[in-house]
């Protein structure tokens, strides 16, 4: 069942096995510690860099290995499969993709090898409102961006600012830029190790060399292209998370007993898990179709929006059911499903709101 119809080679499988080992043995056991610390040790990022997980699609001369998109999807999927929330490796993939696609040669040389090695961390600051005013060769940025995931430890952020009619992207170093203030880490429902902050820009002056690609106004289509990649990774992670929740819960209900029988011997249990499993199969099939069409360059934006929304939405619903099937233990944060419930709720909010996705689908499909 759910045989993969993706063009996966032996190299993909070797890469997958390596990612699985990394997440299972080097990340999963440390999640609680890193949550307590509010972040992931730098060495872990560098280790991920050594293993080639941070931006596999980037060209070899910039530190990547020119891999196809499936490698990025494998990282996202294996991370979710192991229940690893931090470090959020897909973030470096997406940040690097922006720079690789639109950056100037200088920006690529300055940033990509360090992103690939895990020595420079980037974050996307797209939410909120920042304006950029141009005076000669200088831009002045004012405003704030909210909820910058990974912003706490980031060495630089890509900021979307309003300049004239459209959005313009700037690369801003976070450590030594005057006028840029970073909030303390935001206390969130879950994902305590992801170092999420708000950024405030007060008369931040930037040279035109800080423009991503040293040009103004990336077209909406260009921004949408990166968003498609981001959505696909988020969906791959969501589907893997659903599968994990079902796996963990199925094991639990086979062991746990009530009223002299196993929980799985109640028809209600089997029905709910049967529904969840069917949803997982349907979503995986749709995910793989979208991945194939993406590789072939013919993925429709409304399809990826539909996939993203459905996967995030079902993830929350199914994990919620799994909490229920665990009974009281499902409410205890020592249990994986409780973590999945708090950590996973962000998926439905992030990358874009439900309503925006539904607009794309209802208008374009």
Partner 1 sequence: MIRSPHYTPKHEAFREAVRDFMAAEVVPYFAEWQAAGRTPRELWLKAGKAGMLCTKMSPAFGGGGGDLYHSLIIIEEQTRVGFNELTFYLHSDIIAPYIELYGTDEQKERFLPRMARGELVAAIAMTEPGAGSDLQAIRTTAVSDGNDYRLNGQKVFISNGQVGNLICVAAKTDPQAGGKGISLLLLETDGANGFVRGKNLNKIGCKAQDSSELFFEDVRVPPENLLGGVEGQGFPLLMQRLPEERLIMAMSAVANMEEAVKEAEAWLAVRGGIDGARAKLADCKIKAKIGRAFLEDAVDSFIEGTFDTTEGAMIKWWTTQRQNEVIDECVQMMSVDGYRMDNVVTRRFADSRLGRIAGGTNEIMKDLIGRSL
| Identity of the residue, 303 or 321, whose beta carbon is nearer to partner 1 in the bound complex | 303
Q: 52: which DSSP letter?
A: T
- Output phi, psi for 34, to 5 deg: -70, -30
| Identity of the residue, 44 or 310, whose beta carbon is nearer to partner 1 in the bound complex | 310
Least distance from partner 1 to the Cβ atom of residue 239, Å:
12
359: contact with partner 1 by CB under 8 A: yes
- Residue of the chain from 48, 245, 283, 316 that contacts partner 1 (CB under 8 A): 283
362: contact with partner 1 by CB under 8 A: yes
Catalytic positions, written as ranges? 230
- Residue of the chain from 37, 47, 183, 286 that contacts partner 1 (CB under 8 A): 286
Please state, in angstroms and rounded to a whole number, the distance separating the CA atoms of residues 169 and 295. Answer: 26
Q: Which stretch binds partner 1 (CB under 8 A): 35-43, 149-157, 324-332, 353-361?
A: 353-361
Least distance from partner 1 to the Cβ atom of residue 307, Å:
8
- Output phi, psi for 63, to 5 deg: 105, -10
- Residue of the chain from 85, 310, 319, 338 that contacts partner 1 (CB under 8 A): 310
Q: Which stretch binds partner 1 (CB under 8 A): 17-25, 87-95, 198-206, 300-308?
A: 300-308
Concatenated DSSP letters of 90-141: HHHHHHHHHHHHH--HHHHHHHHHHHHHTSS-EEEE-SEEEEEEEETTEEEE
365: contact with partner 1 by CB under 8 A: yes
Q: 67: which DSSP letter?
A: -
303: contact with partner 1 by CB under 8 A: yes
The pairing of strands 156-163 and 122-125 is parallel
What are the helix (H) ranges across 148-257? 220-255
Q: Give how many residues touch partner 1 by CB under 8 A.
A: 34
262: contact with partner 1 by CB under 8 A: no
Q: Is 250 exposed, middle or buried (0-12, 13-18, 19+ CB in 10 A)?
A: middle
243: contact with partner 1 by CB under 8 A: no
Helix (H, G, I), strand (E, B) or coil at 159: strand
282: contact with partner 1 by CB under 8 A: yes
Please state, in angstroms and rounded to a whole number, the distance separating the CA atoms of residues 272 and 257. Answer: 17
| Identity of the residue, 108 or 277, whose beta carbon is nearer to partner 1 in the bound complex | 277
| Identity of the residue, 255 or 334, whose beta carbon is nearer to partner 1 in the bound complex | 255
- Residue of the chain from 285, 301, 317, 350 that contacts partner 1 (CB under 8 A): 285
Count the helices and strands in the chain (H runs, E runs).
Answer: 11, 9
- Residue of the chain from 216, 279, 321, 343 that contacts partner 1 (CB under 8 A): 279
- Residue of the chain from 54, 306, 318, 352 that contacts partner 1 (CB under 8 A): 306
Q: Which stretch binds partner 1 (CB under 8 A): 14-22, 89-97, 100-108, 302-310?
A: 302-310
Least distance from partner 1 to the Cβ atom of residue 349, Å:
16
Q: Answer whether 321's CB lies under 8 Å from 272's CB.
A: yes
Please state, in angstroms and rounded to a whole number, the distance separating the CA atoms of residues 95 and 112. Answer: 9
Q: Which residues of 67-103 are buried (b: 16+ CB within 10 A; e: fewer)?
A: bebbbbbbbbbbbbbbbbbbbbbbbbbbbbbbbbebb
Please state, in angstroms and rounded to a whole number, the distance separating the CA atoms of residues 302 and 86. Answer: 29
Site for partner 1, rule CB under 8 A: 1, 3, 5, 250, 264, 267, 270-271, 273-275, 277-279, 281-283, 285-286, 289, 302-303, 306, 309-310, 355, 357-363, 365
């Amino acid at each position: 069942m759910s045989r993969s119809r993706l063009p996966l080679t032996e190299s993909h499988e070797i890469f997958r096995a390596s990612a699985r080992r990394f997440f299972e043995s080097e990340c999963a056991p440390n999640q609680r510690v890193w949550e307590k610390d509010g972040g992931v040790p730098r060495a872990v990022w560098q280790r991920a860099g050594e293993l080639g997980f941070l931006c596999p699609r980037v060209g070899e001369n910039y530190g990547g290995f020119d891999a196809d998109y499936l490698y990025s999807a494998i990282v996202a999927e294996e991370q979710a499969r192991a229940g690893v929330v931090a470090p959020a490796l897909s973030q470096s993939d997406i940040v690097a993709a922006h720079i690789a696609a639109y950056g100037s040669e200088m920006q690529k040389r300055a940033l990509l090898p360090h992103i690939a090695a895990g020595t420079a961390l980037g974050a996307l600051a797209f939410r909120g409102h920042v304006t950029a005013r141009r005076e000669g060769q200088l831009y002045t940025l004012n405003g704030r961006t909210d909820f910058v995931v990974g912003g706490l430890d980031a060495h630089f952020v890509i900021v979307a600012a309003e300049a004239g009619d459209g959005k313009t992207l700037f690369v801003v170093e976070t450590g030594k830029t005057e006028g840029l203030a970073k909030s303390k880490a935001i206390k969130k429902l879950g994902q305590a190790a992801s170092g999420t902050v708000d950024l405030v820009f007060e008369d931040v002056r930037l040279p035109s060399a800080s423009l991503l690609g040293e040009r103004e106004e990336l077209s909406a289509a260009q921004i949408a292209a990166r968003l498609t990649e981001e959505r696909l990774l988020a969906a791959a992670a969501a589907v893997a998370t659903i599968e994990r929740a079902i796996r963990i819960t199925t094991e639990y209900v086979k062991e746990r007993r009530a009223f002299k029988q196993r929980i799985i011997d109640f028809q209600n249990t089997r029905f709910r898990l049967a529904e969840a499993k069917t949803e997982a199969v349907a979503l995986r099939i749709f995910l793989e179709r979208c991945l194939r069409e993406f590789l072939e360059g013919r993925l429709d934006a409304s399809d990826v929006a539909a996939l993203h929304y459905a996967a995030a939405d079902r993830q929350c619903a199914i994990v919620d059911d799994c909490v229920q099937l665990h009974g009281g233990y499902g409410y205890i944060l020592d249990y994986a499903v409780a973590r999945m419930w708090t950590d996973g709720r962000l998926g439905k909010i992030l990358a874009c709101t439900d309503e925006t996705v539904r607009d794309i689908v209802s208008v374009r499909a």
